[in-house]
Amino acid sequence: MSQWKIQLAKSSGFCFGVQNAVSTAYRILDEKNDQKIYMLGEITHNETVVGDLLASGMLLVHEPQEVECGSTVLIRAHGVTPAVMEELEKRDCRIIDCTCPFVKKIHDIVRKADQEGRPVYITGTKGHPEVIGICGEANQTTVISSLSEAENLPQIEEDAIWVSQTTFSSKEFQKICEFVQKKIAKDQIFGTICYTTENRQRETAELAGVADVMVVIGSRTSSNTKKLFDICSDRCALTYLVGSAEEVEPLLSLWRDKKVKLIGVTAGASTPVSIIREVITTMSENEANTIQESNDINFGDYIESIPQLRKNATVKGEITTCDGDFVYVDVHDKSEGKIPRSEFEPDFDFDAAVAERREIEVFVRSIRNTDQGKEIILSKSHVDFSKNKAEIEEACNNKTPVTVKITSVVKDGVIASYGEVDIYIHRTQLELNTVNDLESYKGKTMEILITQFDAEKRRLRVSGSRRTLLNNERKAKADEVWGSIEKDKEYDGVVRSLTDFGAFVDIGGVDGLIHVSELSWNHIHHPSEVLAVGDQVHVYVKDFDPEKKRISLGYKKAEDDPFYNIEERIPVGSIVRGKVVRMFQFGAFVELEPNLDALCHVSQISNVRLNKPQDVLKEGMEVEAKVLDVNASTRRISISIKEVNPIDPEPSEVEETAPVEEAAPAEAPVEE
C-alpha cells in the first residue's frame, strides 16, 4: 500500500472577514426575533455554508429592493456601495455590516480621493462584488485586471490614486505597481491586498513547488480560490480544484498508481474548516500515512487550536507592510500585529524590510477584539531593551567598552543611548579634563566603560565613563613613550593646558612642558598669544627626567628665528633698505624685515653732528643704509645711513647744545 504525506498550507481556510461574517450570521439566527433575516448576496463562495444558513432560516437576496421593510440585513465581507446602504436605510432595515476591515479601508481611500477630485484606478476583477462596492465610492473609477490593460491605458493622470482588490494576485499587482510607479508618485499607490491573501498565495506557491500533487479546496466561483489554483498549476502538473471530499475519492487510485509521496493542500478564504477536515480525512483513510504541515505544525492542532498569541509573550514575526504610523507584522495569527513606527531607528529601511519580509522578535503588549477585528499591539523596543540591558550588564561585569550615542544634555552631564538603554555620563567623565560645553557632544558616537549597573530599583540605572577608558589608554601609551623617549625626538601633540610659565602638551599619554621662552622668538607675555588649548603642535624633546616624570619640550624652530643664517642673508658691507620704527637719544632702530631691527647710531645718520635722531628722522620714514656689523650671537646689526645717503639738517634746525658722546652699540637697549 502506498504511503503519502499530506502537507497543509498554514494560511488555509476562512480569512478573518469571512469568518466574522459567517459567525455573525449564525449568531443573529440564534436571536430568534420576529424579523426576517436576509443575506445580501451569498455570504461566502461556498455552497455548503450558504445552504446551511438558508436551511436555518436565513433568506438570500441580491438587490436591496428585494428586502422587506423593517427586516434584518447582513452585509457580507465584500461590502456594498453607498447607494445600497441608503436604500436599506430607506426601508428602515436593521443593518448588520460585516464588511471586512481591509475592504473598508479601501472605501475610505477611494471616498477621500473622490472628494479631492482625483481619478481612481482599481486593480481587480471586473464585476466582483468587492470591486463593485469600491467603485460605488467614486464617480471616476477605472478597473484594471492585468498588466497589459494598464499598459494600454491612454493616460494615467498625475494626481490619480491606485488601489487593489484585497484578494487580487499579489504577483500581478507587483508587476502593475512597477509600471504605474513610472507615471504617478509612490505614495499615491496603496498596497491594499489583504496580508492574509498575500501569505496564502506565498505559502501555496512554496508548497506547490515541492509537492507531487496539489489539492485546492474551495468554490469554483471564488476569485481567491481560482487564483490559488492558477498559482499551483504553474508549479505542479497534478493540481486539482475540489469543492468537497466526494470530489477527492475518485483521484486516490490515480495517486497510488503514480506513487505520489507528498500531497500539498491549500484552501480559499471562503472554505470552512469542516470541509478542509473532510477532504484531508478522505485522503488519509486506508492510508498508513502521516499528516505533515508547513513548519511541522500538526493538522489536528491547526484545526482545533490555531496558535493563539498571549499578552506579554515574545514571538517572532515577519514585517509585511507599513504606513505613516505603524509597521505591520505577521505573527502567525488571524490578524496582523502593529508596532509604532517611532520604535524603529530613523535610518531603518522600511521598503527593504517589507520586500524581504524581514523577521524580527516582538513583544505582545495587548490583544483586544474590536468591531474591525482583533487588534494586536506589539513592541520592538521592549525586546530590544531586554537584549540591550543584558549586553550592558555583561559589559559592566567584564569591563568591556561599548559604543554609545549621545542623545541629550541634562544637568551636569549627558544621556547616551545603547540601543534602548539610557546611560548617564557626568561632565567630568567625558574627557580627561572637565567639559563645559556639553551641547557640542549631542549626536556624537563614542566608546565608554559601564561604571554602574543597578537593576534592583524600579527603574534601571546605568552610568558610564569615557574618562576611565581614556585614562587606561593614556597609561598604556605613557609606558610606550617612556620606553622610547630620547633627546631631540619629535612628537605630534595636543595642547592640554596653559599657564603663565608655559604650555603643557600631551605627546601620547605623557604631558611635556613648553616653557614660555620656547614658544616664540619674539617676546610674549603669555602662552595664549601663541597657542590655545586643543591645538595640534609639533614638538621635540629638549630634556627629560624619568624619575620625576618631567619632560621639557621645544617648539620654536631655528629656521623661524629672524637671525637664522643672518650673516649670509645680510652680509657686512651690503646695502639695505628699511623703515624707522623707534628712536632714542643715542640712535634710531630701522626694521629691515618683520621682527628684525638694526641700530643706526646717531653719529651714523648725518655728516653733521646731531643732538638726537629726531633732528632729521621721523618714525615710518624709509631709509637706505650700509651694514657695518652683524653679530648673530649678540643678536645685533649695526648700519650707517650716512655712508649711503647722509641726511643733513638745515643749519637752523640744529639746536646749540652740548654734543652727544658716541655710545657703544652694546649700551643700546635692544628688543628681541
pLDDT > 90: percent of the chain: 38
User: Quick one: 247 and 292 in the same domain?
Assistant: yes
Q: Which of 130, 137, 172, 343 is catalytic?
A: 130
Question: Above 50 in pLDDT, residue 291?
Answer: no
Q: In terms of DSSP H, where are the helices of 236-324?
A: 252-257, 273-284, 299-304
Same domain assignment for residues 233 and 265: yes
* Same domain flag for 570 and 653: yes
At residue 305, the pLDDT reads: 38
**Can you name the residues that pair with 580 across neighbouring β-strands?**
590
Residues contacting residue 536 through CB under 8 Å, at least 6 positions apart: 492, 493, 494
Domain end marker among 556, 582, 613 = 556
Residue 347 has pLDDT above 50, yes or no: yes
Per-residue confidence (pLDDT) for residue 187, from 0 to 100: 83
Q: Are residues 404 and 372 in the same domain?
A: no
Going through 517-667 in order, the beta strands assigned E by DSSP cover 536-545, 550-554, 575-584, 587-593, 596-601, 622-631, 636-640
Half-sphere exposure of 431 (CA within 13 A, CB side): 10
pLDDT in tens, 179-199: 998 888 888 999 888 777 777
Q: Cβ–Cβ contacts within 10 Å for residue 123, how many?
A: 26
Please indicate, yes or no, whether residues 366 and 393 belong to a single structural domain of this protein: no
Question: Residue 29 has what pLDDT?
Answer: 85
Give the mean model confidence (pLDDT) for residues 15-25: 82
- For residues 545 and 637, membership in a common domain is answered with no
Same domain for 465 and 422, yes or no, is: yes
Q: Is 362's pLDDT higher than 80?
A: yes
pLDDT of 76 above 70: yes
Parallel, antiparallel, or unpaired: how do β-strands 72-75 and 94-97 relate? parallel
Beta-sheet strand order (sheet of 59-61): 59-61, 37-40, 72-75, 94-97
Q: Is 130 a catalytic residue?
A: yes
What percentage of the chain reaches a pLDDT higher than 70? Answer: 91
Report how far residue 351's alpha carbon sits from residue 347's, in angstroms, rounded to the nearest whole number: 11
User: For residue 405, what pLDDT band results from cuts at 50, 70 and 90?
Assistant: very high
* pLDDT classification of 642: cutoffs 50, 70, 90: very high
Alpha carbon distances (Å) from 564 to 539, 558, 617, 665, 669: 19, 6, 29, 21, 21
Give, for 448, the enclosing helix (H) or strand (E): strand 445-454
The verdict on 662 and 572 lying in the same domain is: yes
The chain-wide mean pLDDT, for the chain, equals 85
Q: What is the pLDDT of residue 285?
A: 61
The verdict on residue 561 lying in a domain is no
Which of 631, 620, 588 has its CA nearest to residue 606?
Answer: 588
**Please, are residues 463 and 425 in contact by the beta-carbon 8 Å criterion?**
yes
Task: Report if residue 16 sits inside a domain.
Answer: no
- Does residue 514 lie in a domain region? yes
Is residue 429 in some structural domain? yes
Residue 223 CB burial class (10 angstroms; 0-12, 13-18, ≥19):
buried
Q: Are residues 393 and 372 in the same domain?
A: no
Answer with the one of 354, 379, 404 that is the final residue of a domain. 379
Helix/strand number for the chain, H first, E second: 16, 32
Is 50 exceeded by the pLDDT of residue 547? yes
Is residue 26 assigned to a domain? no
Residues 370 and 423 in one domain: no
- C-alpha 138/C-alpha 118 separation (Å) is 9
Q: What are phi and psi of 647, to 5 degrees?
A: -110, 105
Beta strand 445-454 with 502-506 is unpaired
pLDDT exceeds cutoff 60 at 667: no
Q: Domain holding 229: CATH number?
A: 3.40.1010.20
- Tell me the one-letter amino acid at 468: T
pLDDT at 488 over 80: yes
Q: Which of 72-86, 195-209, 442-456 has the lowest mean pLDDT?
A: 195-209
CATH value at residue 624: 2.40.50.140
Residue 93 lies in a domain: no
Instruction: Tell me the C-alpha distance between 123 and 165, whole Å.
Output: 6
Which structural domain, as residue segments, surrounds residue 495?
A: 485-556
Residue 9 — very low, low, confident or very high, per pLDDT cuts 50/70/90? confident
Give the end of a domain, one of 286, 304, 322: 304
pLDDT for the residue numbered 424 = 94
Q: Are both 373 and 407 inside the same structural domain?
A: no
Residue 464: predicted pLDDT = 93
State which H helix or E strand residue 410 sits in: strand 402-410
Kindly state whether residues 400 and 453 are assigned to the same domain.
yes
Q: Is the pLDDT of residue 39 over 90?
A: yes
Residue 370 is predicted with a pLDDT of 66
Q: Is residue 66 part of a domain?
A: no
Number of domains into which the chain is organized? 6
Q: Is the pLDDT of residue 423 over 50?
A: yes
Asked, for residue 73, whether it belongs to a domain, the answer is: no
